[in-house]
Amino acid sequence: MPKPYPSEFRDDVVRVARNREPGVTIEQIAKDFGVHPMTLQKWLRRADIDAGAKPGTTRTEAAEIRELRKRNRLLEQENEVLRRAAAYLSQANLPGKGSTRS
């Protein structure tokens, strides 16, 4: 998998594409910067979403969702450990087998 372009580079290319002179195509700008035209189209679409010009999940929201899902998984694991510990401890305190008291 190719390394992702730095965000500063992507932002610069998007800015140049947005401020291009009439008659200059997206394909020409992509070629000038050494990226595939579809990659530049994707960056432009992502910039529109991040700016609120198009509906969709922004990069900030996507990062927050990833972090929340990670936190949720951790909390579910911790909850399972506590549930198992509670079940084990409740079994250990039952009178009967192994008890030497009369």
Q: What is the pLDDT of residue 102?
A: 52
Answering whether pTM is above 0.95, one says: no
**Distance, CA of 102 to CA of 97 (rounded, Å):** 12
Query: Could you tell me if 6 and 35 are in contact, meaning their C-beta atoms sit under 8 angstroms apart?
Result: no
Please give the CATH number for the structural domain made up of 1-56: 1.10.10.10
Q: What is the pLDDT of residue 91?
A: 87
pLDDT in tens, the chain (102 residues): 667 889 899 999 999 999 999 999 999 999 999 999 999 999 999 999 988 888 888 888 999 999 999 999 999 999 999 999 999 988 877 776 555 555
Domain definitions of the chain by residue range: 1-56, 57-88
**Distance, CA of 17 to CA of 20 (rounded, Å):** 5
Q: What is the pLDDT of residue 42?
A: 94
Q: What is the pLDDT of residue 58?
A: 86
Q: What is the pLDDT of residue 47?
A: 92
Per DSSP, helices labelled H in 1-102 are 7-18, 26-33, 37-51, 59-92
